[in-house]
Chains A and B, each alone.
Chain A
Amino acid sequence: MPFAYQLPSDVSPATVANTSSLLRIIALALISGAAIASRLFAVINFESIIHEFDPWFNYRATKVIAEKGFYEFWNWFDPTAWYPLGRVVGGTIYPGLMATSGVIYSLLHAINLPVDIRNICVLLAPGFSALTAWSTYMFTKELKDESAGLLAAVFIGIVPGYISRSVAGSYDNEAIAIFLLMFTFFCWIKALKIGSAFYGSLAALFYFYMVAAWGGYAFITNMIPLHAFALILMGRFSSRLYVAYSSWYAIGTLSSMQVPFVGFQPVRTSEHMAALGVFGLLQIIAFAELVRTHVSSKQFQSLLYASVVGMGITGALAIIGLTYKGWIAPWTGRFYSLWDTGYAKKYIPIIASVSEHQPTAWPSFFMDLQLLIFLFPAGVIMCFRQLRDEHVFVIIYAVVASYFAGVMVRLMLTLTPVVCVTAAVAFSSLLDTYIDPAEPDVLEDDSNTGQDAPTSGTSTAVSTSSPAPSLKKAKKAAAAAPPAGPLDGLVSTVTAAVSSSKKAGKPRGVFGLDTRIAVLINALGMLFFFVMHCTYVTSTAYSSPSVVLASTNPDGSQHIIDDFREAYYWLRQNTPETAVVMSWWDYGYQIAGMADRPTLVDNNTWNNTHIATVGKAMSSSEEVAYPILRKHDVDYVLIIFGGLLGYSGDDINKFLWMVRIAQGVWPDEIQEPNYFTPKGEYRVDEAASSTMKNSLMYKMSYYRFAELFGGNQAVDRVRGQQMPKVGPTLDYLDEAFTSENWIVRIYQVKKDDPLGRDLKTANAFAQGKKRKRSKPQVRRKAVS
């Protein structure tokens, strides 16, 4: 057989194997290095600090583990969150993340490396991203071969879709969850492949870890049953499937119930019923198969099938009936809003108000995945061409995750691994085809082409390590006349171009060195630009801690706006430790983490009414809000105002959500239309509606704002509107602190007037205004 280029032939197979394994180890080490290094932009540019909102709570909880031990943490009741109510932390969180860093902390201290717990928290996500790359390698190896695995590991190591949730300092559940997701899937595939209860138990153990780490475990709980069900429907039931699924489900379910936050949900809620249903179905089918081996009568077999189908339907009806009767809880709103995309907006504004819960736009697919998004469909098609059991899994995963990622920006994260895997399969098939030096035989006729096909004709299954059945399938595929995959199309066009004089469909493959080099250079260029794109996106878009804001001065130097910490530290230093701070729920965790003060509401939005209370206080007039504040012992009110600096994520822009959430609970007192101008515009200038102007949020935001401009026209830089010359006045609150750039403003709630007067009247009196005549009689009586 002719070769396009010469290979050394005097190398022993052992040397080849050793060299390739050494290269693999080096490659994996470099990939880990790249994965970690590309996540450190934020730490190097700014400082080693926790970003965002949620991680502040995780950090605070981890500090409890590090300082007081695990049992204290497990039984931790936090009286400072949700102020009058308190929060049972141990029972309302997924403790996996904190436990992981707690274990790492103890380990490092045991070997006399006294690392600060904050640094462990900051650097946990980059560390686990290296593990994710490794587990993706293992997963893809099961799917194709080691080289595809390495490509997948590179892809997931640096792809921005995953980096966005795992930069250093983003100490969130997703940081370890993606590793656990991929490793659970790897164990499941492995268990299914060899039919081993050991890998099934391992999958269950990692599933348990995943349940302890992230609420997204429901994805696994439904993916694996879906895969098993699809295999059953395809007629691929085997004892291996039974062994793998049963051992995973039996151990996994029982272990998932150990997490207090999950509790009895695996037997009580609809999200988990698919797993239970498939478990039951598998038992029936396995029993039927067993019986079938002992009997051979045809009539009996049909009877058996009828009874299997009948029992399956009965089971499904039983689950539906139990759901209707209320024994099994229906889907939760968060889950349901994935199916009915308009549901959250209509009924649960608090879900719709989170920016991550919006549908994904096309550009963000490209920005997060670059060339992978083009290779993704090609890879899925290649999975179809081999279609072993694990390929079915990847296909289902791809379809389901694409849908979810389209519905919700946040779920881009679960799509990213499968995109990397399939793109790696497609890309490595391309490389396999064009690096393979075997030339198709031109001289020989028909008899030879059939033998050539597996090595050079088809794009899939070229590697020597792929098992026999796939080779057989590839042969079959090669025998089929029209090429199906896009790569095959490419191959055939190349062939047709090169050997146009020949009869169509005879020798297929790549001729000559030049075609190979042309394609390979192109492919390597694509990979190169992928790396450039990933680095660029990571450094510009995803590596900014939201705690400090950075801007650039005209001379190119960096200007840091540090108003948040300035204000939080003011709170920490200058207020009594029991002072209750009211703010919108976004800032709850940060206040608790940085200012260390009790808050009314926080980012764990478990009590909608309490949040609505805060929303009502913010959106009603001072007279209405004051009793609410007093009843909740609020000492300080904290708001974010970006009007001076042009910081768009401020409370005036979030104000309508406060109104909506409050309206959901008190539809009589708060009405959204009242906050618009008669034309239906949302304005803050002169034309703003009177309800808007009288609302506590408006007054707090623009209090003394006009004075800042020294008689000139005041301009709100975010809304781009000109503010009235005379700003609002406050009677029930005192300005306590305003940060340097006016981003954080803190107001102190006044105590009752010592003379028992209405605070408004008292204020008017102090300013020397004349009392109105109608009021004083009543008030005086109250004094004496």
Chain B
Amino acid sequence: MAGPKSTTSSASSNAVRSLLRAYNENTSSRLKFIDAFLLFLMLSGVIQFVYCILVTNFPFNAFLAGFGSCVGQFVLTASLRSQVNPVNRAEFKDVSPERAFADFALGSIVLHFFVYNFLG
């Protein structure tokens, strides 16, 4: 989760450590669970992308479907995360956590319908 910070120098590595500590302390276990899923999706997407770059993009629609499913699932999960995050309670007045999960499920079903259709 600390992508853009990796290039910074030793002064900010301290900052990264403080960020990780703050994250560990302030995040509920539920959100951490979502974050673990996000990490998995990101890794899966990266592996597919590297495979596409290094080996072949031959069935291009299959690559797009697989990669698109990773990206789509990632953003849908990230949306769920921000909707259920208590910090954002003020922003999502009309979306209860249960509603957010239903939205997430529906969005994922639609997404994967198109993914399977596009795999070819």
Using a CB–CB cutoff of 8 Å, the interface residues on chain A facing chain B are 194-198, 200-201, 204-205, 238-240, 242-243, 246-247, 249-251, 253-255, 257-258, 264, 267, 283-284, 286-288, 291, 293-295, 297, 300, 303-304, 307-308, 311
The answer, among A197, A258, A288, for a CB contact under 8 Å with B79, is: A197
Q: Is the CB of B103 within 8 A of A258?
A: no
Q: Nearest chain B CB to A170's CB is how many angstroms away?
A: 32
Interface centre among A198, A250, A283, A303 (most CB of B within 10 A): A250
Q: Which residues of A contact B95 (CB under 8 A)?
A: 194-196
Q: Mark B83-113, 1 if CB is under 8 A from A, else 0.
A: 1010110011111000110111011001100
A254–B64 alpha-carbon span in the complex (Å): 8
Tell me whether A247 and B87 are in contact in the complex, defined as CB-CB below 8 angstroms, given that A197-B80, A240-B92, A242-B79 are known contacts.
no
Q: Which of A238, A250, A283 contacts B111 (CB 8 A)?
A: A250
Question: With A200-B107, A295-B22, A303-B12 as given contacts, are A246 and B92 in contact (CB-CB < 8 Å)?
Answer: no
- Give complex CA distance A198, B76 in Å: 10
Instruction: Using CB atoms, name the residue of chain B closest to A268.
Output: B60
**Chain A positions within 8 Å of B111 at CB level:** 250-251, 254
Shortest C-beta distance, A291 to chain B (Å), equals 6
User: How long is the Cα–Cα vector from A287 to B107 in the complex, in angstroms?
Assistant: 21
Give the complex CA separation of A303 and B80 in angstroms: 28
Residues of A within 8 A of B107 (CB): 197-198, 200-201, 247, 251
Nearest neighbor of B21 in chain A, beta-carbon distance:
A294
B83 and A195 contact, CB distance less than 8 A: yes
Contact between B104 and A294 (Cβ–Cβ < 8 Å)? Answer: no
B15 close to A250 (CB less than 8 A):
no
Using known A-B contacts A196-B95, A287-B3, determine if residue A243 contacts B106 with beta carbons closer than 8 Å.
Answer: no
Alpha-carbon gap, A191 to B23, bound state (A)? 29
Pick the contact of A238: B91, B100, B106 (CB < 8 A): B91
Closest to A266 in B: B64
Partner of B103, one of A196, A255, A287: A196
- Which single residue of chain B is at the shortest CB-CB distance from A307? B4
Question: Which of A205, A239, A247, A258 lies in contact with B118, CB distance below 8 A?
Answer: A258
Given A242-B79, A247-B75, A254-B118, 5 additional A-B pairs, CB 8 A: A239-B82, A242-B82, A303-B15, A304-B4, A311-B4
Q: Whole-angstrom distance between the alpha carbons of A242 and B100 in the complex?
A: 14
Complex CA distance for A308 and B1, rounded to whole angstroms: 15
* Distance to closest chain A CB from B99 (angstroms): 8
| A249 and B115 alpha carbons, distance in the complex (Å) | 14
- B103 and A197 form a contact (CB under 8 A): yes
Contact string against A for B residues 9-43, beta-carbon threshold 8 Å, 1 for contact and 0 otherwise: 00010010011001100100000000000000000
CA distance A242 to B106 in the complex (A): 18
A-B contacts, 7 of them at CB < 8 A, read: A240-B92, A254-B68, A254-B115, A257-B118, A258-B118, A264-B60, A297-B18
Measured in the bound complex, the distance between the Cα atoms of B117 and A89 in whole Å is: 21
Given that A242-B82, A258-B117, A307-B4 are contacting pairs, would A201 and B110 also be in contact in the complex, using a CB cutoff of 8 Å?
Answer: yes
Q: What residues of B have a CB within 8 angstroms of the CB of A247 in the complex?
A: 75-76, 79, 107
Contact with A246, one of B19, B79, B99, B102 (Cβ below 8 angstroms): B79
- Cβ of A70 to closest chain B Cβ, rounded Å: 15
Decide if B103 touches A254 in the complex (CB within 8 Å): no
Q: Verify A253–B103 contact, CB threshold 8 A.
A: no
Interface of A is mostly: helix
Interface string of B66-81 (1 = CB under 8 A from A): 0011011001101110
**In whole angstroms, how far apart are the Cα atoms of A201 and B113 in the complex?**
12
Closest to A267 in B: B64
- Do residues B72 and A300 form an inter-chain contact, with CB atoms below 8 A? no
User: Contacts A194-B95, A198-B106, A201-B110: A250 and B76 contacting too (C-beta < 8 A)?
Assistant: yes
What distance in Å separates the Cβ of B23 from its nearest Cβ neighbour in chain A? Answer: 5
Shortest Cβ distance from A251 into B: residue: B111
Bound together, the chains give a CA A201 to CA B118 distance in angstroms of 18
Give the residues in chain A near B61, CB-CB below 8 Å.
257, 264
A204 to B110 CA separation, bound complex (whole angstroms): 10
Contact in complex: B91, A251 (CB < 8 Å): no
CB distance from B91 to the nearest CB of A (A): 5
B79/A243 in contact, CB under 8 A: yes
Say yes or no: B94 contacts A196, CB within 8 Å. yes
Tell me, in angstroms, the Cα distance from A295 to B22 when the chains sit together. 7
* Option from A205, A249, A264, A288 in Cβ contact (under 8 Å) with B110: A205
Name A300's closest neighbour in chain B (CB-CB): B15
Assembly CA distance A247 to B100 (angstroms): 12
Is the Cβ of B64 less than 8 Å from the Cβ of A294?
Answer: no
B contact residues around A255 at 8 Å (CB): 114
Least distance between B68 CB and chain A CB atoms (Å): 5
List, in ascending order, chain A residues with CB within 8 A of B80's CB: 197
Q: Given known contacts A197-B100, A247-B107, A251-B107, is B91 in contact with A239 (CB within 8 Å)?
A: yes
The residue in chain A whose Cβ has the minimal distance to the Cβ of B92 is A195
User: What residues on A are CB-neighbors of B23 within 8 Å?
Assistant: 294
Q: Please indicate the chain B residues that have their CB under 8 angstroms from the CB of A293 in the complex.
A: 87
Whether B83 contacts A246 by the Cβ 8 Å rule is no
Q: Once bound together, how far apart are the Cα atoms of A253 and B69, in whole Å?
A: 11
Partner of A250, one of B8, B72, B87, B100: B72
Q: How many angstroms from the CA of A304 to the CA of B8 in the assembled complex?
A: 11
Q: Separation in Å of the B12 CB from the closest CB of chain A?
A: 6
Instruction: Name the distance in Å between A633's Cβ and chain B's nearest Cβ.
Output: 37
| Nearest CB of B to A328, in Å | 14
Provide the bound-state CA to CA distance between A254 and B110, in Å.
Answer: 10
Determine how close the nearest CB of chain A comes to the CB of B15; give it in whole angstroms. Answer: 5
- With A195-B91, A247-B79 as known contacts, state yes or no: A294 contacts B22, CB within 8 Å: yes
Q: With a CB–CB cut-off of 8 A, which chain A residues contact B100?
A: 197
Q: How many Å lie between the Cα of A247 and that of B94 in the bound state?
A: 17
* Nearest-CB residue, chain A, relative to B20: A294
CB <8 Å contact, B82 and A243 = yes
Closest-CB distance, A221 to chain B (whole angstroms)? 16
CB pair B114 A197 closer than 8 Å: no
Q: Which 7 A-B pairs have the closest CB atoms?
A: A250-B72, A246-B75, A197-B103, A294-B22, A243-B79, A239-B82, A194-B94
Shortest CB-to-CB span from B75 to chain A, Å, is 4
List of A residues within 8 angstroms of B72 by Cβ: 250-251, 254
Q: Is the CB of A201 within 8 A of B64?
A: no
Whether the pair A295, B18 counts as a contact (CB closer than 8 A) is yes
- Complex CA gap A80/B61 in Å reads 31
